[in-house]
Amino acid sequence: MSDDRTVFRTCPLCEATCGLQIEIEDGAVKRIRGDQDDVFSTGFICPKGSTLKQLYEDPDRLRKPVVRQGFDVDGAPVFVEVEWDEAFAVVADKLTAVRQAYGNDAVGIYLGNPNAHNLGWNTHARAFLKAIGARSVFSASTVDQMPRHVASGYLYGNGLRMPVPDMDRSDLLVLIGTNPYVSNGSICTAPGYPDRIEAVRARGGRVVVIDPMRTRTAEAADQHLRIRPGTDAVLLAAIVHHLIATDQISLGRIGTIVDGVDQLGAAVKPFTPDAAASVTGIDAETIRVLADEIAAAPTAAVHGRIGTTTVEFGTLTTWLIDVIAIVTGNLDEPGGAMFPCSAVERVRPNRTGRPYRVGRWHSRVNGNPEVQGELPVGDLPDEILEPGDGQLKMMFTVAGNPVLSCPDSHRMDEAFASLEAMISVDIYLNETTRHADVILPPGSPLEKDHFDIAFSNLSIRNVANFSPVVFETDQPAEDDIIARLSMIVTGMGDGDPDLVHDQLVSQILANEVRTEGSPIEGCDADRLAAMVTGERGAERVLDALLRTGPYGDAFGANPDGLSVEKLRDHPHGIDLGPLASRLPAALDTETARIDLWAGPFLDELARLEARATEWGADDRLRLIGRRHLRSNNSWMHNLDVLVKGQPRCTLQVNPADATGLGLVDGGRAAIRSRVGELTVDVEVTDVVMPGVVSLPHGWGHDRAGARMTVAAANAGVNSNVLTDPTALDPVSGTSVLNGIPVEVAPA
Ligand code: SF4
């Protein structure tokens, strides 16, 4: 019987969560386009969205587990396919051997960025992390957005409570270090981001972009301010300085719940616009005018992303962005910076929380503090390579390729190669997983259910959208794999993963019936557990979360509320409305108030003042990264449709610098940092400002033993060979990936 149908689902490839319309003909994907009826994206799609077809069909994508059985004569690993039970048995043996020889502290975990987009990981991660009990947890967050979590933790008492720009109602949108015309947005789920930017201007608002590069977003803005990489905190402190000096502080509604505003003036006193001009490269009058505009706009949203977080003062920069929202009355107000309310958020009465804490433990070798339960990924090679108690001997990696995406790649590669055991959950045999003993491949995105648990917390509109499996497969999804791994680490290796799924559902319901203010407070948890629906583990956990969430059906008490079944009946999603003001109820701080100085920000401002003086006298070239519409970090480089065309892994150099350095367009350059050196193709362009060079990350697919044929044919160079693992934002442990001092010369 032919399998012809049209299905709708959410694209899981980036934070934009676009709705897709997928036409199936004879059991194969014929075409993917934007879903015009999707309640949020209304037909928007980028070139990556349609490549779910190519990803599903990619012959390099692993369909069965593989186990490494030695190396060939060239030293490349040899993998053989095995059945799932055999693969899990090898995992159990490896784990037992390492634990017996070295103890549980010898086991670590690395989590890659795609986990955030994965339903099974989001529903089951906690069970696995708790079961394994590892303190050496590393993730892509410390080469990305960790400063946002830490700033939120100190300000709002919850590292996951992140304000997003309510751009659909903003009169002034200020974008710093972000290029949503090609990234499609981050820490801001807004499908059709470019259209939304244009809508701000169409209704008479203004868009300002602050970036060292004239990005596509900058070209579309009313104003583009070129800033020296890594100096955003100085600019933002100067804006706060000017607002105070000109008596333009107006907290509005939240004024009654914010402490510490009186100390701001003294704290930012050194950061006058004149002083900031020589550091940032933006003249003092322009800074003053921008501050005046933010203060005068009926509504204003300032949003910073990767260029503001992967720098030495990433957490301070993020804090300053929120401080500007607070002192101009734009926090928690329509058109300003607002807090989404996800369909799976827990319903709790307004209550005080606990102090936000970091540093509950520290990295063994470098002594860096834990944040959000993680250690800085820049510390990972030392934790593996340096001998001593607690040295890591075994790693689990889940959907990650840290050899390409984390600092000091050569040493990261050496570290993974030295492990006694390594288990990877990944769809590819890539530059990192080639070191694994076992690779456990989940199915493709079209072979699993999807719901954006993480990004509904970052969405500029509250929506809910469930995507059921498109194609059945024998490959388990992440929830089943993680359930099996959880059972292995707790000594129940042959158990049925349904035990873990059911336990997660029971825990959610048992917790909710005990919680004051929950929609099912006081109900019989066992009776409700029997009412949970879903064929798969993650779907059942999601059903329990949705039904007990703020829009849930509360198992019948609110008949019009959400459940997985209801979302299945709405394949284009359900719109839950615009963002609404949520403070003070959404605060989890100890005082139920916002204390501007709960974190180390006074010390950080003093440190910034000292560093700014050094920056003013430092004219070394600075390396920054860049995004491309057809690239998504390292893991989508194996799809020909996305990598074909002109090579994109080039070093962009401003014409003035090229002349001074003797570089020519199309020539080759040697670029050297404190830790590494690369030879790379040169692209001379005034897109980058003088004094700055740019190289994209995620490339360098040239390691023997990886099995990503298309990526290897378009290898590029790995920018993280240049990234210094000791350079980090000390508050969040996030590596400095933007503004790296480099020397460049003709190769
Ligand atoms: S913008 Fe993101 S979510 Fe939308 S189609 Fe592209 S990759 Fe998918």
- Nearest atom in ligand 1 to the alpha carbon of residue 10 is 3
Q: Is the pLDDT confidence value at 525 over 80?
A: yes
**Is residue 10 in contact with ligand 1, taking CB distance under 6 Å?**
no
Measured torsion, CA atoms of residues 423, 425, 431, 435, in degrees rounded to the nearest 10: 10
- What confidence score (pLDDT) does residue 617 get? 84
Query: Do both 289 and 248 map to the same domain?
Result: yes
What is the domain range of residue 211? 146-345+592-603
- What confidence score (pLDDT) does residue 715 get? 93
Query: Do both 156 and 181 map to the same domain?
Result: yes
Q: First and final CA of the chain: distance in angstroms? A: 61
Query: Do both 402 and 262 map to the same domain?
Result: no
**Is residue 52 in contact with ligand 1, taking CB distance under 6 Å?**
no
Query: Do both 669 and 734 map to the same domain?
Result: yes
Enter the DSSP assignment of 710: H
Residue 473 lies in a domain: no
| Bridge partner residues of 440 (DSSP) | 425
Residue 613 lies in a domain: no
Q: What whole-number distance in Å separates Cα of residue 340 and Cα of residue 345?
A: 10
Query: Do both 108 and 230 map to the same domain?
Result: no
Q: Which of 117, 87, 113 is nearest to 475 (CA)?
A: 87
Question: Residue 414: which CATH number?
Answer: 3.40.50.740
Residue 87 lies in a domain: yes
Taking residues 546-574, what's their average pLDDT? 98
**Is residue 548 in contact with ligand 1, taking CB distance under 6 Å?**
no
Q: What angle do CA 136, 139, 144 make, to 5 degrees?
A: 140
Q: Which token pair is 268?
A: 């930012």
Q: What share of the chain in percent tops pLDDT 90?
A: 94
pTM: 0.97
**pLDDT per residue as tens digits for the range 151-198:** 999 999 999 999 999 999 999 999 999 999 999 999 999 999 999 999
- What confidence score (pLDDT) does residue 634 get? 80
Distance 634 CA to ligand 1 centre (A): 16
Residue 285 lies in a domain: yes
Taking residues 528-538, what's their average pLDDT? 96
> Could you say which of 400, 424, 440 is where a domain stops?
440
Indicate the average pLDDT of the chain: 96
Residue 52 lies in a domain: no
Q: What whole-number distance in Å separates Cα of residue 486 and Cα of residue 423?
A: 13
Grade residue 646 by pLDDT with cuts at 50, 70 and 90: confident
Distance 48 CA to ligand 1 centre (A): 6
Query: Do both 339 and 407 map to the same domain?
Result: no
- What confidence score (pLDDT) does residue 254 get? 96
Instruction: Supply the residue whose CA is at minimum distance from atom 8 of ligand 1.
Output: 49
Question: Residue 644: which CATH number?
Answer: 2.40.40.20
**pLDDT per residue as tens digits for the range 673-716:** 999 999 999 999 999 999 999 999 999 998 989 999 999 999 99
- What confidence score (pLDDT) does residue 599 get? 97
**Is residue 184 in contact with ligand 1, taking CB distance under 6 Å?**
yes
Query: Do both 390 and 282 map to the same domain?
Result: no
- The count of domains in the chain is 4
Query: Do both 89 and 206 map to the same domain?
Result: no
Residue 48 lies in a domain: no
Q: What share of the chain in percent tops pLDDT 70?
A: 100
Q: Is the pLDDT confidence value at 623 over 80?
A: yes
Query: Do both 333 and 242 map to the same domain?
Result: yes
Query: Do both 245 and 288 map to the same domain?
Result: yes
Distance 240 CA to ligand 1 centre (A): 35
Grade residue 621 by pLDDT with cuts at 50, 70 and 90: very high
| Backbone phi and psi for residue 267, each to the nearest 5 degrees, phi listed first | -65, -35
Grade residue 647 by pLDDT with cuts at 50, 70 and 90: confident
Question: Residue 284: which CATH number?
Answer: 3.40.228.10
- Nearest atom in ligand 1 to the alpha carbon of residue 14 is 2
**Is residue 14 in contact with ligand 1, taking CB distance under 6 Å?**
yes
Distance 350 CA to ligand 1 centre (A): 36
Query: Is the preceding omega at residue 584 within 30 degrees of 0, hence cis?
Result: yes
> Could you say which of 440, 462, 484 is where a domain stops?
440
Query: Do both 546 and 645 map to the same domain?
Result: no
- What confidence score (pLDDT) does residue 2 get? 83
**pLDDT per residue as tens digits for the range 101-125:** 999 999 999 999 999 999 999 999 9
Distance 33 CA to ligand 1 centre (A): 11
Residue 362 lies in a domain: no
Instruction: Supply the residue whose CA is at minimum distance from atom 2 of ligand 1.
Output: 14
**Is residue 22 in contact with ligand 1, taking CB distance under 6 Å?**
no
**Is residue 341 in contact with ligand 1, taking CB distance under 6 Å?**
no
- What confidence score (pLDDT) does residue 732 get? 98
Query: Do both 256 and 396 map to the same domain?
Result: no
Residue 449 lies in a domain: no
> Could you say which of 546, 573, 603 is where a domain stops?
603
